[in-house]
Each structure stands twice: as C-alpha cells, then as structure tokens.
C-alpha cells in the first residue's frame, strides 16, 4: 500500500496537542477510506488522529550531522561565546518558510572545562546547605566563579548585546527571551528577567526589606508583557528561581505554565516558585539567610565533593514518636 501518498492526502481539521518539549504534535483530521482497504467506491474520508514526533538522533552518525543532515541554518542570536541557530533538515522545510526551523542548535565556543562538566551526563545527589555551610563552602565558590561565565549578562545589561530582543527594561532589571525558546512557539514560551545589580547573585542574597519590590515588579511586568503580546492571562505563567543557578547573577525564569521541561530545571530541590519566594520574604525578610536549603548537585558540579563531604555535619531531626 502506498502509505506515503495516503499520508500526503491527510486533511487537517484541528491541532489537538502541541508538546514542544517532546518535539511532538498531535493532529486531528481525515484520511481517505482506502487507508483501511478498497471498501468504498466513493472514497469517503475517515476521521484520523496523527501524532508526529522527532526521533532520537542516531549517535553513530554524530560526526556527519552537519554535513549530511542539516540543510540550512540561520543565526537566532549571538552573545559572547554563545550562539544559537535555527536549522532546517530539508530544503522543502525552508521553502515553506517554517520560521522556527526543524531543530535548534546551541553553540558554546570556546567552551571551558566548566561547560564540559555541566553538559556531561552525570549522577546526582541531594544535599542540605545550612547557613554555616553556605558561608564556609558555597559563598567562596560563588566568589571564585569565573567572571567570563557572566560576561554575556554584562554585555546585555550594558546595551551591547541582544538589545532588539529586550521586552522590558528598567533601572533594576530587564526581561527578554531565554535562549531555550525558538521565539515562535507560544506553547514553549520562555523568558528570563535579569537583575542589573551584580552583587545580587542568588536566592541566598534576597532580603525582604530590599528586594520584595523588585520581585513583585518582575511578576507584574512579566504578566503585562505576555498578556499584551501573547494573550496569556493570570495563572498562565510559571516563574521560578534556581538554587543552585547555572550562573551567579540573579535571574528569574518565566515560562508558559503548560510547558513541562524535561530534566532537572524544574525539579523539586532546584526550582523555587517566585510566588513562594515573595510569600516567604513577606513573612521573614531574612528567611534565605537563616534557613537550610536542600537541592540537587550533579557529580560534575564544583560544589559536589565539598558539599557531599560536609553532609555528616548536618543534623537530621526525626519526628517524635507516639
């Protein structure tokens, strides 16, 4: 049976589901009755659901991906050592003007040892970071973080990079699309708010009497922007702060609430909802200075060995019996 020609005769009625995180699309439409055999001389159409998703890349052909697989690329953005491309697998895809491309390609060049460790597949553990361990282990680690890892943030804040993409700018912070977003698919909408203050590095530095207005303003402007541009209303966004973050310059992730990201990025123990952070700081202005934080660390992370070794110092409080 000529299945390809039958699939080409598919008539779309409705998109049932978009799952950009899984590279999957579920469609409702119709196929000719010949799909199930020559049973209707009038060739009536049958309702059909088609789910299409990208298959995993074949690692055996990794060396030839850009020679034989990718037909065309266009730069989405380039900042410091980071460049992002849209790629098209076939000439036909580019000819029909598929603006987001078939694949998104991220390039880090030159890549440091820190980058290599970050992207290497690794096991992880949960650790507890007391205020004392933060001051003894984590704070010196943050202070020694290579400045080139956040140079791209400084370039944006100084007005030398990505200015055409900025959606909001004030003296305290700016909002722009995150590099993870293709800039087209609303279902996977992904923005980031970046504080201008370089001394504000992570969740631990937040103080209610100083930063509540900043956090509330980020929440307000994020909803105003996505409401005006993409029609997303209250409750339609998931906003969070990572601890530990991938870079130590304070930022808030802003994502379509229906977008479920794979991996650790939104896992318990790393992502702290902005709403919860605002609520906690409203109750205790110094809560992130005095509380013990539990989070996941990959074995390639620079904090992994010292924090793992220090876990015997953390008191485990068992619930009382009876």
Q: Which amino acids are annotated as binding site, given as ranges?
A: 152, 162, 178, 180, 242-253
Tell whether 166 and 292 lie within a shared domain.
yes
Answer for the pair 255, 314: CB distance below 8 angstroms, yes or no. no
Tell whether 257 and 203 lie within a shared domain.
yes
Residue 304: inside a domain = yes
Q: For 185-232, write each residue's pLDDT tens digit.
A: 898 899 999 999 999 999 999 999 999 999 999 999 999 999 999 999
Classified as helix, coil or strand, 82 is strand
Alpha-carbon gap, residue 38 to 13, rounded angstroms: 24
Answer for the pair 85, 102: CB distance below 8 angstroms, yes or no. no
Q: Which amino acids are annotated as binding site for substrate, given as ranges?
A: 152, 162, 178, 180, 242-253
Domain count, the chain: 3
List 85's β-bridge partners, or say none. 75, 105
Classified as helix, coil or strand, 249 is coil
- Cβ-Cβ contacts under 8 Å for 77 (sequence gap 6 or more): 83, 84, 162, 165, 179
Residue whose structure tokens are 């619930």 = 319
Answer for the pair 240, 252: CB distance below 8 angstroms, yes or no. yes
Q: For 8-54, write each residue's pLDDT tens digit.
A: 888 999 999 888 777 888 899 888 887 666 655 566 888 888 888 88
Is the peptide bond prior to 17 cis by the omega test (within 30 degrees of 0)? no
Q: Which residues are the active-site residues?
A: 251
Range of the domain at 80: 60-108
Classified as helix, coil or strand, 28 is strand
Residue 114: inside a domain = no
pTM of the model: 0.80
Tell whether 187 and 247 lie within a shared domain.
yes
Q: Which two tokens stand for residue 295?
A: 């989070």
């Amino acid at each position: 049976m000529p299945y390809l020609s039958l699939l080409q005769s598919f008539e779309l009625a409705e998109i049932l589901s978009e799952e950009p995180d899984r590279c999957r699309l579920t469609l409702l439409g119709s196929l000719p009755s010949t799909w199930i055999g020559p049973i209707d001389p009038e060739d009536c159409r049958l309702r059909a659901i088609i789910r299409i998703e990208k298959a995993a890349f074949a690692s055996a052909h990794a060396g030839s991906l850009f020679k034989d697989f990718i037909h065309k690329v266009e730069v989405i953005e380039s900042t410091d050592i980071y460049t992002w491309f849209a790629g098209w697998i076939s000439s036909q895809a580019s000819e029909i003007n598929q603006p987001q491309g078939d694949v998104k390609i991220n390039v880090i060049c030159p890549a440091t040892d820190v980058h290599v460790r970050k992207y290497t597949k690794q096991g992880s553990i949960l650790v507890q970071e007391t205020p004392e361990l933060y001051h003894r282990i984590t704070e010196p680690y943050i202070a020694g973080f290579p400045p080139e890892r956040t140079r791209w943030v400084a370039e944006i804040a100084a007005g030398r990079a990505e200015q055409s993409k900025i959606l909001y700018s004030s003296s305290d912070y700016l909002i722009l699309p995150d590099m993870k977003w293709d800039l087209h698919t609303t279902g996977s909408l992904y923005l980031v708010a970046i504080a201008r203050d370089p001394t504000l590095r992570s969740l631990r530095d937040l103080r209610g009497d100083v930063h509540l207005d900043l956090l509330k303003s980020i929440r307000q402007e994020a909803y105003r922007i996505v409401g005006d541009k993409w029609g997303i209303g209250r409750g339609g966004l998931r906003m969070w702060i990572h601890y530990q973050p991938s870079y130590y310059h304070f930022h808030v992730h802003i994502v379509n609430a229906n977008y479920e990201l794979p991996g650790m990025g939104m896992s318990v123990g790393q992502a702290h909802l902005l709403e919860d952070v605002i609520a906690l700081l409203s109750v205790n202005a110094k809560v992130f200075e005095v509380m013990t934080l539990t989070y996941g660390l990959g074995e390639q992370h620079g904090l992994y060995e010292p924090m793992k070794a220090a876990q015997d110092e953390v008191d485990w409080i068992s619930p009382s019996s009876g």
